[in-house]
Structure 1
């Protein structure tokens, strides 16, 4: 079975300090994974690398078998890979569907 998300040898350093060093992870379709760790452990950096908000120094990121390592964030989002932030509702009085649609409007390159 092809992994829904496969990360291999992912690396990212800031000013010579490694934030992510040789991270590998596979998530099969239907699986859920939890990324936990203390502040400064690299959790946000990992998610920013996977979504393309940060450029990786090394490693590959595959979505359903396709290498998306070089794709821009909006291209990854159009393939179904995006993230949410801690404030996940743009408009609390609106429906979940409306909030998702509004979030997707920001995914275009322009």
Structure 2
């Protein structure tokens, strides 16, 4: 298997709040993963860290296709093929 995305010990703290405490994740080529959890459980923070929107805390590692992308800017990560979208609650005003 070819590892496409590897997250090792991903941590993020906002002041005294620990948003992520050592998340490990491996996604192999051809796999699809889902991230589920209640509001405030760190799902968006995980994606914001992987895509470079937030900087990860020291000791965290994010690799894409074997290349360490930890600390890269979002546009640099997007050029490699990782990007995110934001939830749109009402994309079409005329539809319910």
TM over 0.5: yes
Counterpart check, 1:67 vs 2:86: no
Higher normalized contact order (CA 8 Å, seq sep 6+, divided by chain length): 2
1:1-24 per-position Cα deviation (integer Å, ceiling 9, x unaligned): 331100000000011211000000
Q: Distance in 1 between matches of 2:30 and 2:81?
A: 14
User: Which consecutive residues of structure 1, in runs of 5 or more, have no partner in the other structure?
Assistant: 92-110
Q: CA deviation at 1:87?
A: 2.4
Could you say what the CA RMSD is over the residues aligned between the two structures, in angstroms? 1.7
Q: Normalised by the size of structure 2, how large is the TM-score?
A: 0.87
Q: TM-score, normalised by structure 1?
A: 0.77
Give the whole-Å Cα distance in 1 for the aligned partners of 2:2 and 2:48.
23
Higher helix share: 1
Whose strand fraction is larger, Structure 1's or Structure 2's? 2
- 8 Å contact 2:9–2:61 — kept in the other structure? yes
